DNA sequence: CTGAAAGCGCTAACAT
DNA sequence: ATGTTAGCGCTTTCAG
């Protein structure tokens, strides 16, 4: 193994200087820095993480749990977190929890065993108590939804407000029979917030909600099934001209079901989603959705978990009004 | 932070003794061991990984790259590797490569930055040269397919032989027009091996291959599309009574397409897959497949990457003859 | 069976 | 701007 000392000898400098170069300490003459860099290159020196960690007390690794890795909203967010961490010279270890409390707990334990500097979570099944237990052991930041009453730092948009905005958009485009397509009351918090935003917005506009259609979960398949139910009700004469889906994936499934039932989106039924996943941008028709500033969420989550002072409490979002509600095709 | 010294003081023993207890050194009196354990418990002592690593030179972490995590064959295998490693007290960091060489390289770099004790890979796009580069930097074991001409330790079944066995099963159940459904020649090695096994078996039985149908990739969607092509050919009068699919996922998609086209499996067309993923066991009809001993693959891969002496070179497999080729329903 | 002590490779306080 | 040095927490040789 090549050590700092070897590099120092090769470059004809002190060990301290090598450390300075490696850690980016400013006061090193250009000439010396280059000599050191060359020696590092020639020797193939790689700093020993264990030694760094022992010395600094930081492992340079953060942990991340998401329900699904590499797919949909959390997949995109996860990649951004990994990128953001990498940009700060941090490694990221990721675990996929599938949203069940049990798996969330076992995966967290696995991650904690690696003694990361902090963990970013998108818990779906964990209780406030579980979270308190974890945050007693390491730095924690939550993304995606606020845990009511939890003191843990949380990075999220205002889900209810965003849901309200998109419902308002539907109303203003002349829709009058707007259904919510999501999970039931006993669902993750974000689902409830989005549903509440939907209900409150309708109330503000003096419009009665259409009987809700329940999705089992948040996959496209669930959206498809629920969309099929919706189509059947329409065929039976129910009034319906718009659907607000709890996530883009559900919306994409629902659009497919409506299409299969011979309905046109948005001519017969407008469809809106939430999260702005890439699949929605390339769906046919392109999906109207709420677009949270994911990069900013990732940035703040990493900052939060490193104990950096809080930025803004709330993350920005904007409406992406696309073909599935407007009928207007725009380039992706 | 609670250190070994704290525990030693609390238990009224030397530091060495604490270390002995923690590392499972045998010669510690039962009495002392219990005192130490109690002190550890009371103080909430957790050994510092960085210090351990610095001392022993081992990080206690292995890395794993798979094309997809948590889904299908590699998902199941990945979970088994994680389990196997955990049983040995090792952590596992996993990266998903999606099978492209580019992603494989970036993900490997990310993992290597964590300085794991070794890496287990299922490379799909890497060249032998890439692999040599990685194995120069750390212990490497390959799973899933043999890289021809690579000296790197590989854990795999005999893909060609297994493919031959399953084709022989099809022939012996009276099928005469057997198609291969997989990728083209310019495909990952395992695809080529399975295809070759198929061709050689047919030749042995004196049966001409049916014009191959090409799948774009190894997803169920690809299988569905290819299956639809097959169904169309059949409708046009082509001779076909069996399909051997390169993977279970492709087979499941193909079965769905055949079903949608009004064909019965296995009455009209028998379908066989490869890998024995759980979805196949619950598919309708249940899928005949080659079942590699995944647990053993995981075990040997972990052993190999830790530099333990080689076990058996070749992993066992067996044929799972199920409804999709036999017509006989058996409990899953 | 247990204690003393060396030292893994690195960073940072201190000195120059 | 660069050199000297202590010590992070642990495992392990060497003595007892």
Q: Do A51 and B51 touch (CB under 8 A)?
A: no
A160 phi, psi to nearest 5 deg: -65, -45
Q: Is pLDDT above 70 for B149?
A: no
* Residue A14 beta carbon within 7 A of nucleic strand D: yes
Which residues in chain A, range 50-89, keep a C-beta under 7 Å from any nucleic strand C atom?
51-52, 54-56
Q: Give the mean pLDDT of B226-232.
A: 96
Residues A259-309: tens digit of each pLDDT: 999 999 999 999 999 999 999 999 989 999 999 999 999 999 999 999 888
Quote the DSSP letter at residue B69: S
**Beta-carbon count within 10 A of A176 CB:** 14
Beta-carbon separation of A114 and B53 below 8 A = no
> From CA A119, how far away is CA A81, in angstroms rounded?
11
Tell which of B47, B54, B79 to mutate to test the A interface (max A CBs under 10 Å).
B54
What is the predicted pLDDT for the residue at A312?
64
pLDDT value of residue A185 = 72
B56 contact to strand C (CB, 7 A limit): no
Q: Tell me which residue has tokens 């919306």.
A: A251
Mean pLDDT (whole number) for A82-97: 93
Q: Is B26 exposed, middle or buried (0-12, 13-18, 19+ CB in 10 A)?
A: exposed
Beta bridge partners of B104: none
**Interatomic separation, CA of residue B106 and C1' of nucleotide D10, rounded (Å):** 33
What pLDDT is recorded for position B33? 87
Q: Give the list of residues 6+ apart from residue A34 with CB closer than 8 angstroms, or none.
A: none
Cα B215 to Cα B211: distance, rounded to the nearest angstrom: 13
pLDDT of res. B27 = 77
Protein residue at shortest CA distance from C1' of D3: A14
Provide the pLDDT confidence category of residue B312 given band limits of 50, 70 and 90. low
Taking only the tens place, the pLDDT of each residue in A182-228 is 998 777 888 999 999 999 999 999 999 999 899 998 889 999 999 99
Q: Which CATH class is domain A4-54?
A: mainly alpha
* Residue–nucleotide distance: A17 CA to C15 C1' (Å): 15
Compute the distance between CA of residue A134 and CA of residue B296 in angstroms, rounded to an integer.
34
**Closest chain B C-alpha to A202 CA, distance in angstroms:** 39
Q: Which nucleotide is nearest to B50 (CA to C1')?
A: D9
pLDDT(A25) > 70: yes
Contacts with A133 (C-beta within 8 Å, 6 or more apart), sequence order: none
Q: What is the end-to-end Cα distance of chain B in Å, rounded?
A: 51
Least CB–CB distance from B54: residue in A51, A68, A69? A51
All structural domains of chain A with their residue ranges: 4-54, 159-291+319-326
CA distance A181 to A217: 11
The helix/strand/coil state of B231 is helix
Chain B residues with beta carbon closer than 8 angstroms to that of A133: none
Counting residues of chain B whose pLDDT is more than 70, the rounded percentage is 98
Query: According to DSSP H, which parts of A120-239 are helical?
Result: 128-137, 159-172, 189-204, 220-235
Distance from CA of A54 to the nearest CA of B (A): 5
Is the C-beta atom of A27 closer than 7 angstroms to strand D?
Answer: yes
Which pLDDT score, from 0 to 100, does residue A332 have? 62
Q: Is the CB of B4 under 7 A from strand C?
A: no
pLDDT value for A238: 94
Within B12-153, residue ranges assigned H as helices are: 15-23, 30-43, 49-56, 72-87, 101-113, 128-137
Quote the CA–CA distance of A293 and A312 in Å, as a whole number.
13
Pairs of CB atoms within 8 A across A/B:
60
Alpha carbon distance B227, A165 (integer Å): 44
Q: Quote the pLDDT of residue A313.
A: 67
Beta carbons within 8 Å of A145's beta carbon, 6+ residues apart? A122, A154, A156, A159, A188, A189, A190, A193
| Percent helix / strand / coil, chain A, rounded to 5 | 45, 15, 40
Omega before residue A331 within 30° of 0, cis: no
User: Distance between CA B195 and CA B192 in Å, rounded?
Assistant: 5
Q: Specify the pTM.
A: 0.89
Chain A positions touching chain B (beta carbons under 8 Å): 46, 48-51, 53-54, 59, 61, 68-70, 82, 86, 91-94, 96, 98, 110, 113-115
Residue contact A94–B98, C-beta within 8 A: no
Strand-pair category, B118-121 with B139-143 = parallel
What letters, b where the CB count within 10 A reaches 16 and e where it falls short, cover B230-248?
bbebbeeeeebbbbbbbbb
Q: Give A243's Cβ-side CA count (13 Å radius).
A: 39
Q: What is the pLDDT of residue A149?
A: 66
Burial of B223 (0-12, 13-18, 19+ CB in 10 A): buried
Closest residue to A96, CB basis, from B51, B69, B98: B69
Residue A178's DSSP bridge partners are A242
pLDDT in tens, B252-270: 999 999 999 999 999 999 9
- Mean pLDDT over residues B161-183, rounded? 97
Contacts of B49 in chain A (CB under 8 A): 50, 53, 59, 114-115
Contacts of B51 in chain A (CB under 8 A): 50, 54
Q: What is the mean pLDDT of residues B186-194?
A: 87
Give the number of C-alpha atoms closer than 13 A to the C-alpha of residue B247, restricted to the C-beta side. 26
Chain B partners of A68 at a C-beta cutoff of 8 Å? 70
pLDDT at B4 over 70: yes
Report the CATH superfamily, name and number, of domain B159-291+319-326: Response regulator (3.40.50.2300)
Quick one: which residue's CA is nearest to D2's C1'? A17
Collect all residues with Cβ–Cβ distance below 8 Å to A114 and sequence separation of at least 6: A59, A61, A63, A93, B49, B61, B91, B93
CA-to-CA distance for A113 and A108, rounded, in angstroms? 9
Instruction: Out of A46, A59, A70, name the one closest to residue B96 (CB).
Output: A70
């Amino acid at each position: 193994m090549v050590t700092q000392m070897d590099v120092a000898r090769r470059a004809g400098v002190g060990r301290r200087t090598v450390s300075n170069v490696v850690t980016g300490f400013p006061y090193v003459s250009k000439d010396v820095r280059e000599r050191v860099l060359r020696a590092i290159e020639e020797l193939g020196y790689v700093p020993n993480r264990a030694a760094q960690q022992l010395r600094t007390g930081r492992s340079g690794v953060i942990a991340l749990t998401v329900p699904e890795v590499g797919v949909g909203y959390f997949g995109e967010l996860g990649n951004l977190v990994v990128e953001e961490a990498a940009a700060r010279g941090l490694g990221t270890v990721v675990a996929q929890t599938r949203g069940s409390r049990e798996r969330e707990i076992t995966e967290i334990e696995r991650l904690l065993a690696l003694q990361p500097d902090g963990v970013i979570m998108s818990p779906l099944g964990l209780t406030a108590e579980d979270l308190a237990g974890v945050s007693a052991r390491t730095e924690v930041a939550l993304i995606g939804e606020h845990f009511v009453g939890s003191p843990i730092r949380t990075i999220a948009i205002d889900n209810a407000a965003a849901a309200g905005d998109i419902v308002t958009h539907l109303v203003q485009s002349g829709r009058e029979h707007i259904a919510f397509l999501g999970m039931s009351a006993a669902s993750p918090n974000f689902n409830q917030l989005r549903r509440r935003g939907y209900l409150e917005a309708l109330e503000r506009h003096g419009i009665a909600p259409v009987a809700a259609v329940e999705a089992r979960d948040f996959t496209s398949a669930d959206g498809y099934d629920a969309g099929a139910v919706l189509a059947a009700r329409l065929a039976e004469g129910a009034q319906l001209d718009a659907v607000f889906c709890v996530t883009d994936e559900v919306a994409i499934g629902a659009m497919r079901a409506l299409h299969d039932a011979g309905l046109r989106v948005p001519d017969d039924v407008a469809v809106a989603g939430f999260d702005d996943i890439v699949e929605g941008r390339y769906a046919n028709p392109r999906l109207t959705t709420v677009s949270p500033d994911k990069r900013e969420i990732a940035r703040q989550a990493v900052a939060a978990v490193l104990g950096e002072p809080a930025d803004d409490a709330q993350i920005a979002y904007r409406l992406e009004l696309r073909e599935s509600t407007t009928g207007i095709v725009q380039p992706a």
